[in-house]
C-alpha cells in the first residue's frame, strides 16, 4: 500500500549547524511533496513543498530535493536556530490525486543554543 518512511525520528544539532531529514515514498505516481513543521502545541504548518517536475526548491534557509527515480526527497535546513526546534513531517500525495496526503512518522528536531 501507500507508504512514506521518514528518518531520523529524532535529530539534535548545535545552533548554526545544518539538519537533513530524509523520506522515501512507495507510490510512483505521487507528484506533490509538502513538508510541515509542528511546534509544540501548535498546528502543523506548511513550510515548503515541491512538485514532481522539479528537482530542488529553496526558500531562504530551507531547501527540499527530490529524486523521482529513487523515490526519495529530503529537507535541508542550514544555519539552524533554536526556533527551528519542532516536529517535521514529510508527506506525499497518492496517485488518485485527491489531495489526500500520506505522512511520514515525523522527526523531532532539537537545536541546541
Question: Can you give the binding site for another protein, defined by CB under 8 A?
Answer: 4, 6, 32, 34, 36, 41-46, 49, 89, 91, 93, 96-106
Least distance CB 42 / another protein (angstroms): 7
Of residues 16 and 54, the one with the C-beta less far from another protein = 54
Of residues 15 and 51, the one with the C-beta less far from another protein = 51
59, 31, 34, 66 alpha-carbon torsion, rounded to 10°: -50
- Which helix (DSSP H) or strand (DSSP E) does residue 55 occupy? none
Of residues 22 and 78, the one with the C-beta less far from another protein = 22
- Nearest CA-CA partner of 18 in 88, 80, 98: 80
> CB neighbours (10 Å) of residue 23?
26
Least distance CB 99 / another protein (angstroms): 3
Least distance CB 91 / another protein (angstroms): 8
Of residues 72 and 78, the one with the C-beta less far from another protein = 72
Exposure class string for 86-105: b at 16+ Cβ within 10 A, else e:
bbbbbbbbbeeeeeebbebe
Amino acid at each position: 500500500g501507500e507508504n512514506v518512511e521518514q528518518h531520523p525520528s529524532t535529530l539534535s544539532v548545535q545552533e548554526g549547524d545544518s539538519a537533513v531529514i530524509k523520506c522515501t515514498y512507495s507510490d510512483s505516481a505521487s507528484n506533490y511533496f509538502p513538508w510541515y513543521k509542528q511546534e509544540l502545541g501548535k498546528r502543523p504548518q506548511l513550510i515548503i513543498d515541491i512538485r514532481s517536475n522539479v528537482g530542488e526548491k529553496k526558500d531562504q534557509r530551507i531547501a527540499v530535493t527530490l529524486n523521482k527515480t529513487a523515490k526519495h526527497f529530503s529537507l535541508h535546513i542550514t544555519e539552524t536556530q533554536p526556533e527551528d526546534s519542532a516536529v517535521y513531517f514529510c508527506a506525499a500525495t497518492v496517485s488518485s490525486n485527491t489531495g489526500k496526503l500520506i505522512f511520514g512518522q515525523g522527526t523531532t528536531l532539537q537545536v541546541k543554543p
